[in-house]
Amino acid sequence: MLATNRTKEKLKAGKAVFGFRMDFASSYIVEALGNTGFDFVYFDLEHGLINEESCLEMVRAAESVNLTPLVRVASGSPEAASRLLDSGVMGIITPHCNTRQDVQAAVKAVKYPPEGERGIAGRSLSLSGMPAADYVREANKETLVIAMIEEPEALSNLPAILTVDGLDVLFIGRLDFSLASGIPGQIDAPSIQSAVTEIITGGRGAGKAVGVGAINIDDPDSISHFIKQGAQFFALNTTSVLKSAARDLLKRVKAD
């Protein structure tokens, strides 16, 4: 049987989900952090130095601890998404989704016909033990389509983007949004805050889940703030998580 996408299930129920971003290969860290209560892990193949073989090993590690494995691809290429989905990935994060056509292409790359154009083969199908027709139906139901909203152009096209069937999550990349806005790194600038609010409000109104990136893990109140606004999808940087945990541990030890 195909595994239930618990992250998608929670999002549909209106709950917030929390994951961590891996931009380097380590199945061990995936297993270790997976046992702490995270919902998903996403492997960053756009910015990280992860190859497909390493990604598959981390997918297996995620499966072993009931984490939903997601991948941020380097581009909207259908071939890139297909190979990863065939390996067992349960959702694709597509960067730079600035137009309705960009998001439609992302959906087509993730879904089998009639919803998309993905071809059928690979580990996920083989291990499911399901007839092809049943597998296609279940895979289309369980996979997540996540569009990165990270440039002002996407905000201008937001009403059209929100009409795309099959889009599950709008994931706001605040750092890239600030870069494209000419104020790199100023994610708390009024213009960025206004854009985030507009995207969250629009997304929730259209029945789409919304995520916010570039979260400062030393400021958990910021997550609470976005949850109150209606955001549901949060991914923390793994390096920051490890540094924060180590710093807190050393602080407690040295205080004794």
Q: Residue 241 is encoded by which pair of tokens?
A: 């998580």
Residue 138 carries which side chain, given as an amino acid letter?
E
Which of these CATH numbers, 3.40.640.10, 3.20.20.60, 3.30.499.10, 3.40.50.10950, describes 6-255?
Answer: 3.20.20.60
Residue 87 carries which side chain, given as an amino acid letter?
S
**Is residue 255 pLDDT above 90, yes or no?**
no
For the segment 159-210, what is each residue's pLDDT rounded down to a tens digit? 999 999 999 999 999 999 999 999 999 999 999 999 999 999 999 999 999 9
Which residues neighbour 106 within 8 Å (Cβ) at sequence distance 6 or greater?
Answer: 76, 81, 92, 94, 97, 145, 147, 167
For the segment 65-120, what is each residue's pLDDT rounded down to a tens digit? 999 999 999 887 788 899 999 999 999 999 999 999 999 999 999 999 999 999 99
What are the residue boundaries of the structural domains of the chain, listed by start?
A: 6-255
What share of the chain has pLDDT > 70, as a percent? 100
Positions marked catalytic: 47
> Which pLDDT does position 215 carry in this prediction?
84
- CA-closest candidate to residue 77, choices 91, 59, 95: 95
122 in helix, strand or coil?
A: coil
**Is residue 254 pLDDT above 90, yes or no?**
no
Model-level pTM? Answer: 0.94
CA dist 45 and 92 (Å) reads: 11
> Which pLDDT does position 256 carry in this prediction?
64
